[in-house]
Amino acid sequence: MIVLTGGAGFIGSNLLKKLNDENIENIIVVDSLDSSDKWKNLIGKRFVDYYDKDMFLKKIQNGMNFDVETVFHFGACSSTIEKNADYLIHNNFFISKVLLEWALSQNIRFIYASSAATYGDGSSGFSDSNDTTLKLKPLNIYGYSKQLFDEFLVRRELDKKVTGLKMFNVFGPNEYHKGKMRSIVIKAFEQVDATGKIRLFKSNDPNFRDGEQKRDFIYVKDCIDIIWWLYKNSKKGIYNVGSGKANTWMSLARAVFKAMDKPEQVEFIDMPEILLDKYQNYTSADITKLVRAGFDQKLMSLNEAVDDYIRNYLLKNDQYN
């Protein structure tokens, strides 16, 4: 049995599809659907049961035995602009600890999602080594809530027993429900479709010209392939899940225009005040550990990934995978 928290979410539902594609359906999906449309990500997927997250937590805390082999813990609040620190710490740190302690006590494999937001301004580099993990200073409370759990594991050497996934800028199908937290790809697609142009933030750093800020963008299909490889090869430790390459926002915008067969037209706008001192102008996953572990699969280029997402999903008005 597999438990998949956040199974109706963006990355979780894509992993659920991968598990189904591998003929695995003995799965318990755990999530909190509320009033969002993310329930649609579960349509057509195969699993044996569904639990609201609070109900599931109560059951394991009351000693219910689910005969589980692996927990994929992708459930979290992923908003980088959420200001309620108590809410974020409870969802992303406390609940993660409860699930971890239950998994370890039952000898259940534990694989969880962390975030590149933990790297902050990048001044400590982007290595997924334990030494670097303990030095990181996130720029927002979301990143800090993820950092807390990473540090909790590393300081107790529990990273040797679990698998952590530091997700970089993931984009692709099944993200439509994320509102403001959707990727720039789907936002840019909608902007071009409506106005013919893409709006990008002006730079807040003299070291970067407008549109030349860089991020490590990774397609969700590649992201799932990395997760699947780590799972199948029983790898332990914290790993960066990124492309290993930094691309500019302008490069991404050009890829969107190309995929939509539209002329390039970019407008630069002021960055919202809420982001000014919390914005990551550069991220690039150091995937040395992943490669040394044996992962050698070729990942899609940014142009290939954007083209697949737009032509095979967004232009067909089909955002589901």
- Confidence band of 65 (pLDDT split at 50, 70, 90): confident
Q: Does one domain contain both 180 and 166?
A: no
Q: What is the CATH number of the domain that holds 310?
A: 3.90.25.10
Among 236, 276, 29, 44, smallest CA distance to 139 is for 276
If you average pLDDT over residues 284-309, what whole number do you get?
A: 98
pLDDT at 35 > cutoff 90: no
- Domain for residue 319, yes or no? no
Residue 277's pLDDT is 82
The tokens describing 53, both together, are 């997250």
Question: Catalytic site residues?
Answer: 142, 178
**pTM, 2 dp:** 0.95
DSSP 8-state secondary structure symbol assigned to residue 314: I
Question: Degrees (nearest 5) of the Cα angle 179, 182, 184?
Answer: 130
Among 117, 167, 162, smallest CA distance to 142 is for 117
Q: Where are the beta strands (DSSP E) in the chain?
A: 2-5, 27-31, 49-52, 70-73, 109-115, 163-167, 169-171, 198-201, 214-215, 217-219, 237-241, 247-248, 266-269
Average pLDDT, the chain: 95
DSSP 8-state secondary structure symbol assigned to residue 282: B
Measure Cα distances from 132 to 109, 224, 277 in Å.
25, 25, 22
- Domain for residue 250, yes or no? yes
The tokens describing 185, both together, are 């790809």
- Domain for residue 321, yes or no? no
- Confidence band of 275 (pLDDT split at 50, 70, 90): confident
Does 285 or 274 have the greater pLDDT score?
285
Number of domains in the chain: 2
Residue 36's pLDDT is 84
DSSP 8-state secondary structure symbol assigned to residue 75: -
Residue 321's pLDDT is 82
* 93: containing domain: 2-170+217-244+288-292
If you average pLDDT over residues 209-218, what whole number do you get?
A: 96
- Distance from C-alpha of 312 to C-alpha of 153, rounded to nearest angstrom: 40
Q: Does one domain contain both 165 and 177?
A: no
- Domain for residue 186, yes or no? yes
CB-count burial class (<10 Å; 0-12, 13-18, 19+) for 229? middle
Cβ contacts of 152 within 8 Å, gap of 6 or more: 93, 97, 158
Q: Does one domain contain both 156 and 10?
A: yes
Summarize pLDDT for 77-86 with one digit per residue, the tens.
888 888 899 9
pLDDT at 73 > cutoff 90: yes
Q: Where are the beta strands (DSSP E) in 17-150?
A: 27-31, 49-52, 70-73, 109-115
Residue 270's pLDDT is 94
Residue 190's pLDDT is 97
Q: Does one domain contain both 239 and 92?
A: yes
- Domain for residue 320, yes or no? no
Summarize pLDDT for 234-259 with one digit per residue, the tens.
999 999 999 999 999 999 999 999 99
Q: Does one domain contain both 193 and 268?
A: yes
- Distance from C-alpha of 115 to C-alpha of 146, rounded to nearest angstrom: 7
Q: Does one domain contain both 184 and 305?
A: yes
Other Cβ atoms closer than 10 A to 188:
24
- Domain for residue 183, yes or no? yes
Measure Cα distances from 15 to 29, 32, 320 in Å.
11, 17, 13
If you average pLDDT over residues 17-30, what whole number do you get?
A: 98
Lowest mean pLDDT among 63-67, 205-209, 234-238, 257-261: 63-67
